[in-house]
Structure 1
Amino acid sequence: MTTDPLAVHIQIEGRVQGVGYRAWCADEAKARDLSGWVRNLASGGVEAVFCGPADDVTDMLDVIWHGPRFARVTGVKEFDRPPPITGPFQVRDSA
């Protein structure tokens, strides 16, 4: 088990808007006690930052491929690692 802190910044593509993906993502992140945020993008994708123990963040990166019932994730792009964020996980306004 790895409890070292990890922060990731990702973009999720596919049918991820209009299906409750942000709320689902926030619930999953909060269940893992992660910090960070999630928001819709004008491109139709979803952007998110997850911060917390490495094992929990890695687990979150596995489940984002599933999403809520009507979502269909077709790709996940990871950006440069951001500095860690503390505080409660947030659903942000669209970009």
Structure 2
Amino acid sequence: MSDRTRAHVFVTGRVQGVFFRATTRERAAEVGVDGWVRNLDDGRVEAVFEGSEEQVDAMIEFCHEGSSAARVEDVDVEEQPPEGVDGFQIER
């Protein structure tokens, strides 16, 4: 699992109610990355991506764009040690 990396991401902007989580899950399936995504009470979206560096980078890049209706203002990324997450979920 040493080839896996993990990014903990917070996305700020108009990112709730614009299919950001569903689009993130679809993109995660395309990329083959594991993790989860959820809305926060403060209006941000929080996500964790685990996979190869290339997979995780692709998801971080996606977060800068978001869904077609989203307006992303900022993406804050913190690298963490992988925890072995399996699959990709939308958390409530």
Question: Are 1:18 and 2:9 counterparts?
Answer: no
User: Any stretches of 5+ residues in structure 1 without a counterpart?
Assistant: none
Identity across the alignment (%):
38
Query: TM-score normalised to the size of structure 1?
Result: 0.88
Letter in 2 for 1:14: G
Query: Matches of 2:46 and 2:55 in 1, distance apart?
Result: 18
Q: 2:50 aligns to what?
A: 51
Distance 1:80 1:57, change over 3 A: closer
Q: 1:7 aligns to what?
A: 6
Query: Matches of 2:66 and 2:87 in 1, distance apart?
Result: 20
Query: TM-score normalised to the size of structure 2?
Result: 0.90
Q: 2:72 aligns to what?
A: 73
Query: Matches of 1:82 and 1:91 in 2, distance apart?
Result: 21
Query: Matches of 1:50 and 1:40 in 2, distance apart?
Result: 15
Q: 2:87 aligns to what?
A: 88
User: Any stretches of 5+ residues in structure 2 without a counterpart?
Assistant: none
User: What is the Cα-based RMSD across aligned positions, in Å?
Assistant: 1.5
Higher helix share: 2
